[in-house]
A and B are shown apart, each in its own frame.
Chain A
Amino acid sequence: MHNYFQQYKFRGDYRVRAVFSTLMQTTVNQLAGDVVLTIPVTASTMVTRGFNQVTGWLTDGLNQVDGLATLVQEKGVAQSQKARQDRMATPQPFKLVMGTERLRQQRVILVDDIYTTGRTMRHAADLIIENGAKSVTGLTLAR
């Protein structure tokens, strides 16, 4: 799994999204939520990596639909470079860029690539609940 993410995220081999795309898509369908959201990547990552690794699994890769966006334009230190203490102390990094009416009383599925401390997931979930969602279910490929 480590090698997979090395190839996919850090080398940027977008082709290997196909390895897990069926698995991720069927799992999302089984969870039967009303809204599917993915954890966004920063704008600077979009410039260097050129894709959101989670959206890559869920869509054919061409249409990037995101309900969430990151607040910070440049990320200082990548989440994967931080120790647990630092990760837990991360402030809310997300903001909502979709209308709240789309979330009201909805069951939301939130998808990310790797779950480590849960900090990222919880921040995003908090934001979604605050905006009126009924429930949030997290789905990650690895932990």
Chain B
Amino acid sequence: MEKSALYGRQLCLTPDEARDLPAEAQKMVGIQRNGQTLRCNRCGSNLTATMAQLPNQQYYCYQCLNLGRVSTLTSLYHIPEPNEFLNYPTCSWQGKLTSQQAECAERVRTNFEQRGRHLLWAVTGAGKTEMLFPGLAWALSQGLRCALASPRVDVCLELAPRLQAAFQDAEIALLHGRSDEPYRYCQLTICTTHQLLRFRSAFDVLIIDEVDAFPFATNPRLHYAVNQAVKPNGALLYMTATPSRELLRQVRRRQLSISYLPLRFHQHLLPTIKVSLQPHWWRTITRGQLPPCLRRKLTAYAKSHQRFLLFVPRVAQLAQVKAAIERAVPTLNGLTVHSTDPERLEKVQRMRDHQVQFLVTTTILERGVTLPGIDVIVLGADDSIFSTAALVQIAGRVGRSRDRPDGLVWFLCASYARTIKNARRQIKLVNQKGRRLQRAMPIVSSEHSS
């Protein structure tokens, strides 16, 4: 094994696999036993002995099993991060930030310099990725090791080419559970938050995109992973359009600094949500038909070739919804996609490439996906699976291009649920702030692309 494969990492190996490791490799026990308590040294979980038990008084961690089993039969191997990078990449991005974006970007950069903890709260489509560039350019030029992690693999896949385009001479490692590519030691890493469990004190700068997304928000192991993967004196940046209460609490306690951007990169407001009450939409679909209002809309789409996403609450509903669409409007050409779909990534790519006009999808495409100029329809938006944050994110898929800064966000639901009310309220609030900002700074014309 290459020495660099262990830099800032903690790899779980059996004694056999660890036989020809470089001499510098430090060895740590996989499972820490303290009297009655058991603790996994990779994911930090406290384990219940009866569940963690293997024969012959051995124990394993059942919490981070998907990354390869940590047990008393294995050890974790680590070499402290040496920041051994040959040439530091430079930023080749030619775009320009709006003055508000530039202000946020400057805050981000100073946070990196001061190695602080910072929250960048910017509305969907504000251009968060671009606002990172000045800070990242600085960090990379200083020889710092940087990582951008997101709970969603789709987000990672979308970020990778954008960052590669902005830092053309940078080597970027893209790590996620579905990847077959072997690990590479690079100055810049893009990965899912789960992959952070394989790092230890590696990053001088760690950015977590979409912090409020599933599964990060509800998974304590991933929070542990973040603190483990960043160097003790490293900088941490959280980014989201819909921060959780917990994050805002940390802001109030001054454990986290914050910068805020209520306007999108093209200076337009967020599209507002249109709601139609359709108490029997699901029954209509199970009969193989579409609610009349939806049929009219989709017929119009078939003529105008307007592209759209159609969200449904459950995976099991995808096929029936698509069948009903195909029956009602046969000229529309679309696909269904869900989280465990083996062709998920290819299907989303086909939508990006304009090969299909629409996708019927579950909440997996709620965030991080930019499909310029699309409309969004949500069936059953009152279902408990759609949180307020999810609805705001879904609405935020619309109007993300300068050429078409608005578009339709349409919720069809049986009832006017609290989540929908709150989502509308949040958008209204952000738009109020945005309008104030628009008045304060008359439209700045700028040439950057999204």
Contact = CB atoms under 8 A, between A and B. Distances in A.
Interface of A: 11-15, 44, 47-48, 50-52, 55-56, 61-62, 64
B16 A50 contact: no
B210 to A, nearest CB: 27
A62 to B, nearest CB: 6
B15 A51 contact: no
B58 A15 contact: no
A115 to B, nearest CB: 24
A13 B65 contact: yes
Nearest to B74: A48
For the complex of A and B, list the 9 residue pairs with the smallest distance between their C-beta atoms, beginning with the closest. A50-B54, A12-B69, A51-B55, A48-B14, A50-B73, A50-B58, A11-B65, A14-B54, A51-B54
Nearest to A18: B51
B66 A11 contact: yes
Given A11-B66, A50-B60, A50-B73, A61 B16 contact: no
B55 A62 contact: yes
A13 B69 CA distance: 8
Nearest to B58: A50
Interface of B: 14-16, 51, 53-56, 58, 60, 62, 65-66, 69, 71, 73
A30 to B, nearest CB: 26
B62 A61 contact: no
Nearest to B50: A15
B55 A44 contact: no
Given A12-B65, A13-B65, A47-B73, A64 B56 contact: yes
Given A11-B65, A14-B60, A48 B73 contact: yes
13 contacts: A12-B60, A12-B69, A14-B53, A48-B16, A50-B56, A50-B60, A50-B71, A50-B73, A51-B55, A61-B54, A61-B55, A62-B53, A64-B56
A55 B54 CA distance: 12
A15 B62 contact: yes
B71 A12 contact: yes
Contacts of B55: 50-52, 55-56, 61-62, 64
Contacts of B56: 50, 64
Residue from A12, A47, A64 having most chain B Cβ neighbours under 10 A: A12
Nearest to B15: A47
Nearest to B14: A48
A48 B58 CA distance: 11
Residue from A14, A15, A55, A61 having most chain B Cβ neighbours under 10 A: A14
A26 B60 CA distance: 28
Residue from A15, A50, A52, A62 having most chain B Cβ neighbours under 10 A: A50
Contacts of A62: 53, 55
Contact of A47 (B16, B60, B62): B16
Contacts of A50: 54-56, 58, 60, 71, 73
A116 B359 CA distance: 41
Nearest to A7: B65
A66 B157 CA distance: 49
Nearest to A48: B14
A47 B14 contact: yes
Contacts of B73: 47-48, 50
Nearest to A14: B54
A15 B51 CA distance: 6
Contacts of B54: 14, 50-51, 61
Given A15-B51, A50-B55, A61-B55, A44 B69 contact: no
A105 to B, nearest CB: 31
A72 B66 CA distance: 30
A51 B52 CA distance: 13
Contacts of B62: 13, 15
A14 B59 CA distance: 10
Contacts of A56: 55
B59 to A, nearest CB: 9
A116 B443 CA distance: 71
A106 B378 CA distance: 67
A19 B53 CA distance: 16
Nearest to B67: A11
